[in-house]
């Protein structure tokens, strides 16, 4: 077991709670919790599970919308020396059963909106021992027989006494499964906690080397009024939401706001920014940025602009965040816009945009020690003109129960532990990198590689294009042809969109077909829904035939 001052999410959050017990830690639609309340409620849930026989190393599934309960349960898992398991609330029965079985989940905390699907899959999961139901609307009701009610568990159980935790405790975050079945990415708890604590620097505080340094760092934050107030707009069930939106701010003594109700209500987001003086906002690209900018523009034109003067930073990760949306947001406030690239497996780089600076998209400063390597394993040097895969140092130790995939993604370069998730990129002349996209979605047309994200970004430069998705379709002549689904703000001839693209990218990258759609369907985290895109293109093609 480690020392009490070892980095570990349980130790770190307990330390913050001791330093600032009366400051607000959590806010959602139903309740406000201080740090003292937050720690106590997590300890009570941990105590109940401990008495029921849940031990260190166990897996605790979280099937919930963004909420205080999600974060309390997340904290409780760490207090047990267990791993929280993020569960996508969009999953249907078969997908849900696969993930819970693959993760060896013993406890599932879920919102009552998912009672029926849980009742369907639970009998097929012999490892699943305990179900805890929490009310999505904040109003506690009676759960089914054999299921524990979240509020009752907290009311009737004493807090679990604090324990010395091991920095080597396993922490697992499941990928979204965009290009295959979800995979559990394994990390060591202590290393991940220490890495995320580097967020202190982002909030204007000194980064603590050890947990012993946390009280002094928080004192500086209090004196400068720089403890963050974070609004997490994207789902906590994905890495961007839980790591960037929640854990980065919490480890630095911040307050985290969440919205349990589904659906993107841009005006509500800006009202919360006003009401709670939000300083830090986490989104996922244009899927969130476009409607949020539109709400700001409309409010300003109506003479009732939102007060966003408290907001210091907007950070996005996961999908393209266009230059136009960045410039539009900066019209409304003097924000720092951070566009990060990476995956569950590794962070790889980012770009920062402020007023008075060019708002670039798709071009990033690569992280220290990150590399671009060719498909045959060679290091690619700046200026070579070659494309390759991003390789980045990472704390990832493997995929849960999948040694084959682990061997495919982890490599050693000059004695350094790297992961290579499959993101393709090329060096620019200034040494920055241009992100091209995932190799798994790369389109091979007449022997040329086309990366959908690059084409999508080009199409979105057209003033009437709101969103788009580019995919490859089988083609007898070229092998694959480039096809785009485009949502527009007003009627436009698709020939005009294609003409626009030809002026900006090579001809082989220009879509052979453009189909207009009312909206581009995306997952809750803003990532593209490729199955939907393929079905729509198939429908259009069928009509054409």
Integer CA distances (angstroms), 345 to 133, 254, 351, in order: 31, 25, 19
Using a 10 angstrom Cβ sphere, with 0-12 exposed, 13-18 middle and 19 or more buried, the burial of residue 448 is middle
**Does residue 506 share a domain with residue 431?**
no
Q: Find the Cα–Cα–Cα–Cα dihedral 13, 15, 17, 21, rounded to 10°.
A: -170
**Does residue 497 share a domain with residue 419?**
no
**Does residue 449 share a domain with residue 367?**
no
CA 246 to CA 281: how far, in whole Å?
A: 10
Give the list of residues 6+ apart from residue 123 with CB closer than 8 angstroms, or none.
none
- Residue at 393 is within a domain: yes
- Residue at 539 is within a domain: yes
- Residue at 391 is within a domain: yes
**Does residue 450 share a domain with residue 436?**
no
Residue-wise pLDDT for 196-233, tens only, equals 999 999 999 999 999 999 999 999 999 999 999 999 99
CA 131 to CA 88: how far, in whole Å?
A: 17
Q: Is 280 helix (H, G, I), strand (E, B) or coil?
A: strand
Integer CA distances (angstroms), 442 to 179, 254, 423, in order: 12, 40, 10
CA 425 to CA 362: how far, in whole Å?
A: 10
Q: How does the average pLDDT of the chain come out, rounded? A: 90
| Top-confidence residue, 434 or 355 | 355
Specify which of 258-267, 419-428, 476-485 reaches the highest per-range mean pLDDT. 258-267
CATH number for the domain spanning 386: value is 2.30.38.10
| CA 179-180-186 angle, 5° bins | 105
Mean pLDDT confidence for 256-280: 97
Q: Is 392 helix (H, G, I), strand (E, B) or coil?
A: strand
Which domain-ending residue is among 415, 441, 467? 441
**Does residue 461 share a domain with residue 396?**
no
- Residue at 538 is within a domain: yes
Residue-wise pLDDT for 166-189, tens only, equals 999 999 999 865 445 789 999 999
- Residue at 118 is within a domain: no
Which position has the token pair 């139901």? 133
Which domain-ending residue is among 441, 473, 496? 441
Q: Find the Cα–Cα–Cα–Cα dihedral 99, 102, 107, 111, rounded to 10°.
A: 0
- Residue at 532 is within a domain: yes
- Residue at 434 is within a domain: yes
CATH number for the domain spanning 530: value is 3.30.300.30
Using a 10 angstrom Cβ sphere, with 0-12 exposed, 13-18 middle and 19 or more buried, the burial of residue 412 is exposed
CA 32 to CA 255: how far, in whole Å?
A: 10
**Does residue 539 share a domain with residue 449?**
yes
Neighbours of 365 (CB within 10 A): 15
**Does residue 437 share a domain with residue 453?**
no
Comparing 325-334, 390-399, 518-527, which segment has the lowest mean pLDDT?
518-527
Q: Does residue 545 have a pLDDT over 50?
A: no
Q: Does residue 543 have a pLDDT over 60?
A: no
**Does residue 544 share a domain with residue 473?**
yes
**Does residue 514 share a domain with residue 455?**
yes
- The whole domain housing 399 covers 363-441
Give the pairing type, strands 416-419 and 410-413. Answer: antiparallel
Residue-wise pLDDT for 291-321, tens only, equals 999 999 999 999 999 999 999 999 998 666 8
Give the pairing type, strands 105-111 and 59-63. Answer: parallel
Q: Find the Cα–Cα–Cα–Cα dihedral 269, 272, 277, 280, rounded to 10°.
A: -40
pLDDT at residue 6, as a whole number: 83
Q: How many structural domains comprise the chain?
A: 2
Q: Does residue 372 have a pLDDT over 90?
A: no
Express as a percent the part of the chain with pLDDT over 90: 64
Which domain-ending residue is among 441, 473, 506? 441
Please tell me the pTM assigned to this model. 0.82
Specify which of 363-367, 382-386, 522-526 reaches the highest per-range mean pLDDT. 382-386
Helix spans in 355-419 (H): 403-409
- Residue at 331 is within a domain: no
pLDDT at residue 4, as a whole number: 47
Which position has the token pair 């002349």? 429
Confidence of residue 369 (pLDDT cuts 50, 70, 90): confident
pLDDT at residue 327, as a whole number: 92
Helix spans in 256-370 (H): 266-276, 285-301, 323-330
Neighbours of 460 (CB within 10 A): 21
């Amino acid at each position: 077991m480690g020392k009490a001052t070892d980095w570990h999410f349980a130790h770190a959050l307990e330390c913050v709670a001791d330093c600032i017990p009366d400051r607000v830690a959590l806010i959602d639609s139903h309740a406000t919790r201080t740090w003292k309340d937050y720690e106590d409620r997590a300890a009570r849930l941990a105590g109940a599970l401990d008495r029921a026989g849940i031990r260190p190393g166990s897996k605790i599934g979280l099937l919930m919308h963004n909420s205080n309960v999600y974060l309390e349960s997340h904290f409780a898992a760490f207090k047990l020396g267990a791993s929280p398991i993020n569960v996508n609330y969009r999953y249907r029965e078969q997908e849900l059963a696969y993930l819970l079985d693959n993760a060896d989940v013993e406890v599932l905390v879920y919102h009552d909106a998912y009672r029926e699907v849980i009742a369907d899959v639970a009998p097929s999961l012999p490892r699943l021992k305990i179900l805890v139901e929490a009310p999505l609307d904040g109003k506690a009701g009676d759960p089914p027989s054999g299921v524990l009610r979240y509020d009752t568990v907290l009311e009737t159980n004493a807090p679990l006494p604090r324990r010395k935790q091991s920095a080597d405790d396993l922490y697992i975050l499941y990928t979204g499964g965009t290009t295959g079945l979800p995979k559990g990415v394994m990390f060591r708890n202590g290393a991940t906690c220490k890495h995320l604590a580097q967020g202190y620097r982002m909030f204007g505080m000194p980064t603590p080397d050890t947990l012993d340094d946390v009280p002094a760092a928080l004192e500086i934050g209090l004196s400068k009024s720089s403890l963050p107030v974070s609004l997490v707009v994207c789902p906590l069930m994905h890495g961007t939401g839980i790591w960037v939106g929640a854990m980065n701010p919490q480890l630095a003594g911040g307050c985290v706001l969440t919205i349990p109700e589904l659906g993107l209500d841009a005006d509500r987001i800006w009202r919360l920014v006003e009401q709670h003086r939000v300083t830090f906002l986490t989104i996922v690209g244009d899927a969130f940025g476009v409607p949020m900018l539109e709400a700001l523009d409309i409010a300003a034109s109506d003479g009732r602009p939102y007060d966003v003067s408290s907001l210091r930073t907007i950070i996005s990760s996961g999908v393209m965040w266009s230059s136009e949306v960045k410039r539009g947001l900066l019209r409304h406030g003097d924000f720092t816009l951070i566009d990060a690239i990476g995956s569950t497996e590794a962070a790889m780089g980012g770009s920062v945009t402020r007023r008075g600076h060019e708002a670039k998209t798709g071009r990033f400063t690569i992280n220290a020690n990150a590399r671009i390597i060719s498909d045959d394993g060679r290091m690619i040097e700046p200026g070579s003109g070659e494309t390759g895969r991003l390789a980045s140092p990472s704390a990832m130790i493997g995929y849960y129960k999948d040694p084959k995939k682990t061997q495919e993604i982890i490599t050693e370069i000059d004695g350094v532990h790297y992961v290579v998730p499959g993101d393709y990129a090329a060096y620019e002349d200034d040494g920055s990198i241009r992100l091209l996209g995932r190799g798994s979605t790369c389109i091979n047309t007449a022997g040329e590689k086309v990366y959908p994200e690059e084409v999508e970004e080009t199409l979105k430069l057209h003033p009437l294009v709101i969103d788009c998705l580019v995919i490859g379709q089988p083609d007898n002549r070229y092998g694959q042809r480039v096809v785009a689904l485009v949502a527009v703000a007003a009627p436009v001839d698709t020939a005009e969109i294609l003409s626009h693209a030809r002026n900006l990218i090579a001809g082989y990258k220009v879509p052979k077909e453009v189909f207009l759609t009312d909206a581009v369907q995306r997952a809750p985290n803003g990532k593209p829904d490729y199955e939907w895109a393929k079905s729509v293109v198939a429908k259009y093609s069928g009509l054409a035939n």
